[in-house]
Structure 1
Amino acid sequence: MKCLRVGGLQFLMLSAVLLVLSACGPDRDSRKKKVEKVSESIAVLGALPASAIDPPDNPTSAKKVELGRFLFYDPILSGNRDVACGTCHQPEFNYAEFLETSIGVNGSGRDSKRQFLTPNTIPFVKRNSQSVLNAAFNGLTNHGPYNPVLAPMFWDSRAKGLEEQALMPIKTLEEMRGHAFSEETIIDEIIARIQKIPEYQTRFAEAFTGEPNPVHAKNLARALAAYERTLIATNTRFDQYMRGDSNALSVSEKDGMNLFLRTGCAKCHNGPMLSDFKLHTLGVPDTQNRKESDTGVNNTYAFRTPSLRNLRYTAPYMHSGKFTTLDQVMFFYEDLAGGKIENPHVTASQIDTLATQMNLKFRDISGIVEFLNTLNDDGFDKTVPNRVPSGLKVSGNLN
């Protein structure tokens, strides 16, 4: 009992020393980590507006949207006249498709049965087909003005706005261009074809009144963008809840949302589109459909945060399409937070700290997935024209 025989002053001094030592020990580190992993509040999320905003130089009209729909499904826009925008962006798959990476030019068949024709010298499309649905809201956040002209497009944000985005697939070898035309000449070729079709001449004149020669590349992009801006799904149960209907989500779905916020998912997946629209390096494994590794933006393996809306219809996931279920995506993030990197070309120092600091556990996964399913809205426009003005197969060689 000798150790208890300490004078009052000595006891106070010993206590002070112990307090200092404890503040420098593991408990302090754990408290620091807890501060770093403070969960987000529901205020970082948000409901979508009822409609999208048009850019000043492309106000919408029924005639313009109708023209854009025909163009979207018409293979006349491809070099070989065998693939359309609607080939890889199909309504039944939320205007994406159920393939790891797409088969564009020189392909035939639908969904998992789609394959290249022989002989073939066309590669697979580089990345997973992103959904066009709600792309009109890209860049929308809870704070600041929304400018549709600056909306980030594609996995690498290389285009701004639907109008700039619209013509890029036409210029890309494996997506729509093929070998017959160069990137510099393909758009002129497409415009020349459209100018020879009387119905398109009429429809362009009706959509762009007052222009003496309305069939040109800028109006082609405007018509496609006007149509794509109507492809929105804004009334999910999550949206209803965020607009004030507390009964729109079940108790377990609300618990899942709280897990989504607490584990760190919302640090990148936030705002009305559940995306910060920023570039992040995660070390996602490459698709085996291409020989080369996809190095992302500026060879950093960084890709834009995708929206989490309507995920039920847009599998497989990530830029490489390597994960076929949401559970697999969650397992990937759990492993990433634990230090496992699945892409051998990416080092630990490159991985975004927002991902490594996530606090995702196996027990949380089913709850988060249940919440993600409240972000589905099947009430979007799925209308596909029965014919296109060129007389070619609607959506190209899908059958």
Structure 2
Amino acid sequence: MHSLLFLIGLAFIGISCGGERGPLKNKKEKTVETIDALGALPKYVTDPPGNKSTPEKIRLGKLLFFDPILSGNKDVSCATCHQPEFNYAEFLETSIGVNGHGTGSKRKFSEKNDIPFVKRNSQSIVNTAFNGIKNGESYDAETAPMFWDLRAKGLEEQALIPVRTLEEMRGHSYPEDKVIDQIVARIQKVPAYKSLFREAFREDANPVNVVNLTKAIASYERTLIANNSRFDQYMRGDSSALTTGEKEGLNLFLKTGCAKCHSGPMLSDYKLHTLGVPDSQNRKETDAGANNDYAFRTPSLRNLRYTGPYMHSGKFATLEQVLQFYEDIAGGKIPNPNVKPSQIDTLAADMDVNFRDISRIVEFLNALNDDNFDKSVPERVPSGLPVSGL
């Protein structure tokens, strides 16, 4: 009798422990990715055929990137939300663009304000020159996927989308279909810019135009690369580049299923996935993503040390919180009440992240950091406006 009760007790304990991770699933045999699913970044950037890089284009693009002349109210630049000290991302959950002042955690809206927060977390521009790159496939810079919702292809196409967006750079001064023409006309009135455009685009009779504007900004952004992390060195053959703990973290990264989406040299498949990430409270409306199904693009895992907070809504302050979120998803917990269990991507639901492994995985992720990129800021910009904005 005692033996029977003992066995029943064991069975009950087993059921209870299993219940902590949600209902049991009929899982197929698990396939674990190998290190071949990852890769080192190339040592050199590929330019698109229609925009070969030159020092003149890069110089012009850098000045434009830091110049508030590109914004409707002349109060915000590309660099306002993509700051060199934060890996060309930003420290805020979601950014304050138009009608803001200050930088970093001190940035606030002006007292009288009718502009909303930027919709999503500011992604890093570093290494976007490699967006879309995959192992064993040719890389096309013109079709490189951009933004959390993949709404643009290539750095040239993405360059002016923030300028057209109300809360990012446009403001109320100009309608969306007129603002770019106004910006170009504004630049044409600055003698220093006219000279810089002529030097960068000598073949054009009228070089100050919207196409050349995008080419210059994209050329500068392609110089912002960090492609020699210790992980890159390890993948290129230096077995001593990673510590024992980082190698253990790498194995756990593969074992838990992270590499099913975070693959290739940029550790991203650049596909849309529905995960149930909680919304930012900075805006009243929920963010349902590109297709109204709460799917967002897999972000790169490079230089994460400098780019928190994380996810499209910026809701997770640390990498530990991100991994705990994946542990919860696999256990059936969905923090976004607008997302149904049936919508969750099976690749995320089938992950096997355990609390005991999180510190080791974070240790590996830190081996992907490389802060050897250009962080310099121009002393002045041709418009005479405050560098980077107010």
**Shorter-chain TM-score range:** over 0.9
* 1:138 and 2:100 correspond: no
Structure 1 equivalent of residue 328 of structure 2: 335
Structure 2 equivalent of residue 253 of structure 1: 246
* 1:104 and 2:60 correspond: no
Q: CA deviation at 1:396?
A: 0.2
* 1:33 and 2:30 correspond: no
Percent of aligned pairs with the same amino acid: 69
* 1:387 and 2:387 correspond: no
Equivalent runs, 1:349-360 vs 2, <5 Å: 349-360=342-353
Structure 2 equivalent of residue 49 of structure 1: 42
Structure 2 equivalent of residue 122 of structure 1: 115
Superposed CA deviations along residues 32-72 of structure 1, whole A, max 9, x for unmatched, are: 7362x221100000000012110111000000000000000
Please give the secondary structure, in 2, of the residue aligned with 1:298: coil
TM-score, normalized by length of structure 1? 0.91
- In the alignment, the residues of structure 2 paired with residue 281 and residue 143 of structure 1 have an alpha-carbon distance, to the nearest angstrom, of 27
Structure 2 equivalent of residue 206 of structure 1: 199
Equivalent runs, 1:122-271 vs 2, <5 Å: 122-271=115-264
Structure 2 equivalent of residue 68 of structure 1: 61
TM-score, normalized by length of structure 2? 0.93
- In the alignment, the residues of structure 1 paired with residue 281 and residue 366 of structure 2 have an alpha-carbon distance, to the nearest angstrom, of 29
Counterpart of 1:377, as a letter, is D
Structure exhibiting the larger radius of gyration computed from Cα positions: 1
- In the alignment, the residues of structure 2 paired with residue 151 and residue 354 of structure 1 have an alpha-carbon distance, to the nearest angstrom, of 23
The number of aligned residues is: 367
Please give the secondary structure, in 1, of the residue aligned with 2:296: strand
Please give the secondary structure, in 1, of the residue aligned with 2:45: coil
Q: CA deviation at 1:143?
A: 2.5
Superposed CA deviations along residues 323-368 of structure 1, whole A, max 9, x for unmatched, are: 0000000100000000000000000000000000001111110010
Superposed CA deviations along residues 249-300 of structure 1, whole A, max 9, x for unmatched, are: 0111000000000000000000000000000000000000000000001101
Equivalent runs, 1:11-22 vs 2, <5 Å: none
Superposed CA deviations along residues 113-169 of structure 1, whole A, max 9, x for unmatched, are: 110002100000000000000011000010321100000000000000000000100
Please give the secondary structure, in 2, of the residue aligned with 1:303: strand
Please give the secondary structure, in 1, of the residue aligned with 2:273: strand
Q: CA deviation at 1:377?
A: 0.2
- In the alignment, the residues of structure 2 paired with residue 33 and residue 349 of structure 1 have an alpha-carbon distance, to the nearest angstrom, of 16
Counterpart of 2:44, as a letter, is S
Structure 1 unaligned runs (5+)? 1-29
Structure 2 unaligned runs (5+)? 1-23
- In the alignment, the residues of structure 2 paired with residue 86 and residue 379 of structure 1 have an alpha-carbon distance, to the nearest angstrom, of 18
Please give the secondary structure, in 2, of the residue aligned with 1:65: helix
- In the alignment, the residues of structure 1 paired with residue 240 and residue 334 of structure 2 have an alpha-carbon distance, to the nearest angstrom, of 40
Q: CA deviation at 1:31?
A: 12
- In the alignment, the residues of structure 2 paired with residue 395 and residue 31 of structure 1 have an alpha-carbon distance, to the nearest angstrom, of 52
CA RMSD in angstroms comes to 1.1
Please give the secondary structure, in 2, of the residue aligned with 1:205: helix
Structure 2 equivalent of residue 299 of structure 1: 292
Structure 2 equivalent of residue 58 of structure 1: 51
